């Protein structure tokens, strides 16, 4: 029974378009995202400004592209820090076990039971707001969930025959861990990257909305939403387009996560 897999096509197209928009935000936008234009305040969407303009007459489409770029950057670097730190800790604790494993995992449980936005707020209240502090805070906070996932995979894999044979061949522990076991965990690992990416997007947008995340002059989708709220009645497009872009981004990555999970024989 081979059904055409529309949802995969949809996901790929959606993520492709979003990546394209984000790249546009980095390279070239139709208007300067920060250029103010007093004559064109609150222009409704038309052919010149397809997403309309905001309270300073700035082009919402250009700002959405730029904000998307920032969000992508924050989410990717956050996930990278979290995944890298988590892999190292998870691999070591999972492979060697012992008392250190117990302590680290108990600590992990504490951190993992906390909502990430809340922990990030504690970090931000100490470090102060800003793009790099958000990345640092979220990155550190994401480490435990990756560590937990990698650890359980390593515990599962380390008793398999191929590991035993590698040990017999006198392969070093690090060689076994990262050249033999780690490639076998990629299936689970990839889908958790997609989930982590979504959590990062949500946390960044939420914190920027609250004004403690990405600071101007960096454009951010969350910040656009909080600015737009005061002009909701006069310029609903100012709020709706950034919001829809966030939804599409999270939708795309959660579907990607589901697809990766399905491909690897999950539910």
Partner 1 sequence: MKYIIKKIFFFILTLLIVVFLTFLAFQIIPGDPAVSLLGTEGTPLKVAALREEMGLNKPVGERFLTWVLNFMKGDMGISYSYQIPVSELITDKIPVTFLLTMLSFAFIICMGIPLGIYTSKHAGSRLDRLIMTVNQVTMAIPPFFLGIILTYLFGLVLKWFVPGGYISYSDDFFGFFTYLIFPAIAIAFPKSAMVVKLFRGSIIEEAKKDYVRTAYSRGNTINGVLYGHVLKNAILPVITFLAVVFADIIAGSIIIEQVFGIPGLGRMLITSIQNRDYPVVQAIIVCIAFVVLGSNLLADILLKVLDPRIKL
As measured in angstroms, the least distance from the Cβ of 110 to partner 1 is 5
Q: Which is nearer to partner 1, 16 or 211 (CB)?
A: 211
- The structure tokens listed for 22 are 């984000």
229 binds partner 1 per the rule CB under 8 A = yes
Q: How far apart are the first and last CA of the chain?
A: 17
Specify whether the CB–CB gap between 19 and 73 falls below 8 A: no
- The structure tokens listed for 240 are 């709706």
Q: Which is nearer to partner 1, 212 or 219 (CB)?
A: 212
179 binds partner 1 per the rule CB under 8 A = no
43 binds partner 1 per the rule CB under 8 A = no
107 binds partner 1 per the rule CB under 8 A = yes
| Contact window for partner 1 (CB under 8 A) among 31-39, 163-171, 186-194, 232-240 | 232-240
Q: Which is nearer to partner 1, 56 or 231 (CB)?
A: 231
SS3 state at 201: helix
As measured in angstroms, the least distance from the Cβ of 87 to partner 1 is 23
- Work out which of 12, 140, 251, 259 binds partner 1, going by CB under 8 A: 251
210 binds partner 1 per the rule CB under 8 A = yes
As measured in angstroms, the least distance from the Cβ of 103 to partner 1 is 11
- Work out which of 96, 109, 179, 186 binds partner 1, going by CB under 8 A: 109
Specify whether the CB–CB gap between 52 and 11 falls below 8 A: no
Q: Which residue, 11, 139, 167, 2, is CA-closest to 76?
A: 139
User: How many residues are given for the chain?
Assistant: 267
Distance CA 15, CA 6 (A): 14
Q: Which is nearer to partner 1, 184 or 254 (CB)?
A: 254
Distance CA 232, CA 13 (A): 31
- The structure tokens listed for 49 are 């400004």
- For residue 129, give the DSSP letter: S
Specify whether the CB–CB gap between 64 and 221 falls below 8 A: yes
Q: Which is nearer to partner 1, 94 or 242 (CB)?
A: 242
Distance CA 232, CA 245 (A): 17
As measured in angstroms, the least distance from the Cβ of 97 to partner 1 is 18
Q: Which is nearer to partner 1, 176 or 212 (CB)?
A: 212
Q: Which is nearer to partner 1, 176 or 222 (CB)?
A: 222
What lies within 8 Å, CB to CB, of 165 at 6+ separation is none
SS3 state at 59: strand
| Residues in 119-138 at the binding interface with partner 1, rule: CB under 8 A | 121-122, 124-126
205 binds partner 1 per the rule CB under 8 A = yes
140 binds partner 1 per the rule CB under 8 A = no
Q: Which residue, 208, 196, 207, is CA-closest to 254?
A: 196
Contact set with partner 1 (CB under 8 A)? 106-107, 109-110, 113-118, 121-122, 124-126, 202, 205-206, 209-212, 225-226, 228-229, 232-233, 236, 239-240, 243, 246-248, 250-251, 254-255, 267
């Amino acid at each position: 029974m081979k059904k055409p897999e529309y949802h995969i096509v949809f996901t790929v197209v959606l993520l492709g378009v979003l990546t394209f928009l984000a790249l546009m935000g980095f390279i070239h936008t139709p208007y300067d995202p920060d250029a103010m234009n007093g004559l064109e305040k609150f222009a409704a969407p038309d052919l010149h400004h397809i997403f309309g303009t905001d309270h300073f007459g700035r082009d919402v489409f250009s700002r959405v592209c730029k904000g998307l770029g920032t969000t992508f950057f924050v989410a990717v670097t956050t996930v990278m820090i979290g995944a890298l730190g988590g892999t190292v800790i998870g691999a070591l604790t999972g492979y060697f076990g012992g008392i250190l494993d117990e302590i680290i995992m108990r600590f992990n449980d504490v951190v993992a039971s906390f909502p990430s936005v809340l922990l990030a707020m504690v970090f931000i209240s100490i470090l102060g707001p800003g793009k790099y502090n958000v990345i640092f805070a979220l990155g550190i906070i994401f480490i435990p969930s990756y560590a937990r996932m990698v650890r359980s995979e390593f515990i599962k894999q380390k008793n398999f025959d191929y590991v035993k044979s590698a040990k017999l061949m006198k392969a070093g522990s690090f060689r076994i861990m990262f050249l033999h076991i780690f490639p076998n965990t990629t299936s689970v690992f990839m889908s958790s990257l997609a989930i982590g990416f979504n959590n990062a997007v949500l946390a960044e947008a939420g914190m920027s909305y609250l004004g403690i995340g990405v600071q101007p002059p960096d454009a951010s989708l969350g910040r656009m939403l909080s600015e737009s709220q005061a002009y909701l009645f006069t310029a609903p497009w100012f709020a709706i387009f950034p919001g829809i872009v966030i939804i599409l981004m999270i939708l795309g990555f959660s579907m990607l996560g589901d697809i990766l999970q399905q491909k690897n024989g999950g539910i």
